Amino acid sequence: MTEETPGFEQEPDVPTDSAEHGGQQPEQQSGDAAQTSGPADEAGPEAPAGDAERTALTAQLDQARTALNERTQDLQRLQAEFSNYRRRVERDRVAVKEIAVANVLTELLPVLDDIGRARDHGELVGGFKSVAESLETVVAKMGLQQFGKEGEPFDPTVHEALMHSYSPDVTETTCVQILQPGYRIGERTIRPARVGVAEPQPGAQPAKGDGDQQAETAADEESGGPEQG
């Protein structure tokens, strides 16, 4: 028989390797699981973030296009207003120039009338003639035109009738005498022609022209001559 020593118990043998490995395996497995699931968890939120960023960029692009269209329309409107302003200024400048020239030439009209009367009386000779011709050349270059001739129909828009008479030689109101010539600059009349006019004689038959007389003569010859009483 084996004697057992009282007070001492024999501990069973426990393999140390299995115990150490058994304690570390759960930690390693949890770490591997965490590493495996990490990229999958991170990949999930990236897709919604990319869509939101793309939407924001699209909205900004639309805003930029809208602002560009508005600025383009503003620029076109400003260009149109500037073109109208430039045309208006040019028109006003031309009008002011014509008015200034007309005012100067209006003051010279009495001098031109004196030159015309001197020419009609044969007094335009010598140095006075040269000065008069030079003045007429200058005013012609500035656009001054003289109008008004005997025999032309009376036009109240460009003629001023100072004398009135009747004549059997006219078929309409006609200028038969030019008292003072008229002057214009382009289409602008600065002084109407002052004339004497003649109207057809009341009850008078219109004067027959040569063509009418020849037609009557030919008709008489065909009918055997004029009828005799």
**DSSP code string of 140-186:** HHTTEEEE--TTSBP-TTTEEEEEEEEETT-SS-EEEEEEE-EEEET
Which tens digits make up the pLDDT trace of 142-173? 999 999 999 999 999 999 999 999 988 889 99
Does residue 53 register a pLDDT over 50? yes
In this predicted model, what pLDDT tens digit does every residue of 188-223 receive, in sequence order? 899 999 999 999 988 665 555 455 555 555 555 555
Name the average pLDDT for the chain. Answer: 78
The pLDDT score that the predictor gives to residue 115 is 93
In three-state secondary structure terms, 215 is helix
pLDDT at 124: 86
Q: Which residue has the tokens 């003569």?
A: 217
Dihedral in degrees, nearest 10, Cα atoms 154, 157, 158, 159: 50
pTM, entire model: 0.54
Eight-class DSSP state of 6: T
